[in-house]
Structure 1
Amino acid sequence: MRTAVAVTLLLSWTAAGQPPSAPDAPKPGLPAYSPASLSFKVETVVEGVQVPWSIAWTSPERMIFNERPGRVRQVVNGKLSPDPLYTVPNIRAGSEIGLMGLCIHPDYAANKFVYLSFGYQIKDADGTARRDIRVQRFKDDGSTLVADKVLVTVEPAGGNHAGCRIAFGPDGMLYVTTGEAFQRRYAKDMTSLAGKILRLKDDGSVPDDNPFVGEEFKAKGYRSEIWSFGHRNPQGIDWQPGTGLLFETEHGPSGEAGMGGDEFNLVEKGKNYGWPDIHHAQKQEGMESPLIVWDPAVAPASGVFYNSDKFPDLKGNFLTGHLGGLGGEKHPGIVRIVLEGRNVVRQEKFVTDLGRIRCVAVGPDGYVYFSTSNKDGRGQPAPNDDRILRLVPDSK
């Protein structure tokens, strides 16, 4: 059952009282949140679930989402099925790890492939725990998911900085964001998949045009799955309509190297995004600096371009959900980033009264769906949390 609350939003926010930047870091050129005016209703789609991390649709009538403890759920014709569609075995869940990414194959109608990323652990006969983060392909038969193939495993698999957003790009390739497991050296270690964005074919094999493919790189031990590196903990990726450019949100130092420093990046083939050598607005030759540095921290957890017609003013804008960072943003919400090509024009914030916002997605109906993350151990859950909600025009 859906409930609706009418909201007319007019807000203005500017950064003030920021904590000191990291040593030697110039003050970031953060565009303050612009006054925003948007008329919409917030409708509850699902309530009483636990840390819904990703949302996808297999058809206009069927939404699937995952809960971080390891459950894949489905909503059919607006009703949440009481039993999970699938429960991941040997899940490692807690802190920042668990069942994270979920996406469907671009040709799902023909092959029924669903992809999950999750923390995995199993004990050997001697009691030694083996842990990794893995991306696995499944076949959806409508009543359950049938395990098919593990595409890639990532080590180390720390309980924090685990990534792990997955999404198909306009090139038909599967992109995977990985965190550096709170071990910063891995972000620039090309023999490790941690702290990277990976690019794979739909069966886990490596595309020939990846940047580190070839005998020269193989001799050095470079992992050919790597698309970009120098990332701390990226969790939001999507491609700009019309240009195909890949944009990304990433959790910054948040106290590890100065407060704040969360990032919005343009990600390009083979480039180094600096962590841990540079952060905040620092610059260094051969490394990429962010388009936006959020300071204080905001903990950007997702990202999607809006490319529908239900909200014409949002078309072509990037939307990201903010959890609210360590010592930072007290009223997180959904942030709208307006771009002109590669350049940020302004940013606006709305839906700031529901706590921590994790996933933001655009449904086949053109409405903006988002999930709360107030039961992840760091929020203040309302009695009906966690929830999946959607924004619809106030005139609907």
Structure 2
Amino acid sequence: MRKILIFIFSLFFLILLTFSIQAEIRVGEFPQNIDDEYLQSPDNINVETWQQNLNVPWELVFLPESNRALVTERGGRVLEVIEGELQPESYLTIDIVSRGEGGLLGMAHHPDFSEHPYIYLMYTYTSDSGEQYNRVSRFKDQSTQAGEEEIIIDQIPAGNYHDGGRIAFGPDDMLYITTGDTFNREIAQDLNNLGGKILRLTPTGEIPEDNPFNNSPVYSLGHRNPQGLAWHPETGDLFISDHGPSGEDGLRAKDRVKVVEAGSNFGWPDKIGYFENSEYANPLIMWENAVPPSGMIFYQGYLYLGTLRSQSLVRISLKIENNNYSVKKIEHLFNDGRGDSIYGRIRTAVVGPDGYLYFLTNNRDGRGSPRENDDKILRFKLD
């Protein structure tokens, strides 16, 4: 009995020691000095339903020079929309792991789609050895279905939470990939680990010569769970969204929007928030209350973000002066700020070739309250 007690005490001591030697997260200031506004029924916005009765749609991609669009559902299906009509047969079904926040996530098309008709997908899977990973693959478009899989990058850390998942081609025709820390926060600072990063690859999966770290796909590090990618239409600067803590060191909320440069380190899990003269990059926005932001896009001079817990489409007005950004206004559309949301959880926003802004609801993801005919793809156009 005495040996058992000694063993239990020793184990408890080791656990305490492990937590004690891990530095606490330093919390900085909020970089913006304005209050959020809430507009449940914003003027001059008339929303219409484009598609409905979907199952957790995660990404929407319009294919160039065609009347076709593709939609990913987190459960593993890619759906095709032709001339606005959802097709009854799946364009592609992938054997994936769909637990928690994993599954079939981001999607993009090749920047020169007419010459290289490839669809890129990021998804979660279980390896032959039983390990769980995320990977990005591409599939050749064959009109009504996808061709064979070609893996672009593999063995990205995966978990039930914090999988990142957004992929997009930038104005430099390179593929950018957001990856999460899978609740193993220390990996976000490890350059030998693909988690908690923004990755950058060529369309064929090679490492670009001008990547900031030698022979590494890592473009930026120190992120927790980034789920949004957008490039400013005038400057070409990369904006990302990232989820704040949900219990680490007793911290919550503090979701962020960041402007990312090659090689920038945003400090997670060493710090979060704005620090003057910091060795780490600072966010542009950090919220006091949980948002958290997911996919985003620039549309008619504003940055639009789909948000989950705050159940609103956030519209951000920015000012650029001396190559620096400041925030003029943050508006939560379709929410009254007191818990009444018209559309619920919003996963992402996408601009269509028709000039509409499309946004996807995720009320059937296990954390929302489904409305009639959820999940939906909604849209509106600003004159």
TM-score by length of 1: 0.83
CA contact (8 A) 1:30 1:294 kept: no
Query: Where do 5+ consecutive residues of structure 2 fail to align?
Result: 1-24, 336-341
Q: Are residues 1:384 and 2:373 paired?
A: yes
CA contact (8 A) 1:320 1:335 kept: yes
CA contact (8 A) 1:55 1:66 kept: yes
Partner of 2:326: 343
| SS class of match (2:264) | coil
Partner of 2:148: 147
Deviation at 1:231, TM superposition (A): 0.4
| SS class of match (1:187) | helix
CA contact (8 A) 2:27 2:271 kept: no
CA contact (8 A) 2:166 2:228 kept: yes
Alpha-carbon distance change, 27 to 272 in structure 1, aligned in 2, over 3 angstroms: closer
Partner of 2:19: none
CA contact (8 A) 2:170 2:231 kept: yes
1:252 to 240, 244, 261: 244
Query: Where do 5+ consecutive residues of structure 1 fail to align?
Result: 1-21, 215-223, 307-314
CA contact (8 A) 2:61 2:69 kept: yes
**Distance in 2 (alpha carbons) for counterparts of 1:96 and 1:389:** 22
**Distance in 2 (alpha carbons) for counterparts of 1:150 and 1:24:** 39
**Distance in 1 (alpha carbons) for counterparts of 2:283 and 2:27:** 16
Deviation at 1:156, TM superposition (A): 2.6
2:307 to 313, 317, 322: 322
Deviation at 1:316, TM superposition (A): 2.2
Q: Are residues 1:227 and 2:227 paired?
A: no
| SS class of match (1:110) | coil
> Which residue identity does 2:379 align to in structure 1?
R
| SS class of match (1:302) | strand
- 1:197-249 deviation line (CA, Å, top 9, x unaligned): 000000000000000126xxxxxxxxx00000000000001110121100111
Alpha-carbon distance change, 185 to 24 in structure 1, aligned in 2, over 3 angstroms: closer
> Which residue identity does 1:149 align to in structure 2?
E
**Distance in 2 (alpha carbons) for counterparts of 1:133 and 1:225:** 15
| SS class of match (2:115) | helix
- 1:256-307 deviation line (CA, Å, top 9, x unaligned): 241211001000010101100001345673201211101101010111111x
**Distance in 2 (alpha carbons) for counterparts of 1:24 and 1:357:** 28
What's the Cα RMSD here? Answer: 1.8
Partner of 2:132: 131
> Which residue identity does 2:245 align to in structure 1?
P
Number of residue pairs matched by the alignment: 345
Alpha-carbon distance change, 24 to 172 in structure 1, aligned in 2, over 3 angstroms: closer
- 1:327-369 deviation line (CA, Å, top 9, x unaligned): xx3xx21111111232222111212311000011000001110
| Larger Rg computed on CA atoms | 2
1:291 to 284, 299, 304: 284
**Distance in 2 (alpha carbons) for counterparts of 1:112 and 1:69:** 24
Alpha-carbon distance change, 113 to 255 in structure 1, aligned in 2, over 3 angstroms: same
Partner of 2:271: 278
Q: Are residues 1:101 and 2:93 paired?
A: no
**Distance in 2 (alpha carbons) for counterparts of 1:388 and 1:50:** 11
Deviation at 1:322, TM superposition (A): 0.4
Percent of paired sites with the same residue: 42
1:363 to 336, 346, 352: 352
CA contact (8 A) 1:319 1:337 kept: yes
Partner of 2:20: none
Partner of 1:33: 36
> Which residue identity does 1:87 align to in structure 2?
T
CA contact (8 A) 2:157 2:163 kept: no
**Distance in 2 (alpha carbons) for counterparts of 1:84 and 1:107:** 24
**Distance in 2 (alpha carbons) for counterparts of 1:279 and 1:80:** 42
Deviation at 1:147, TM superposition (A): 2.5
Partner of 1:207: 208
Partner of 2:94: 88
**Distance in 1 (alpha carbons) for counterparts of 2:152 and 2:232:** 26
CA contact (8 A) 1:161 1:232 kept: yes
Deviation at 1:30, TM superposition (A): 5.1
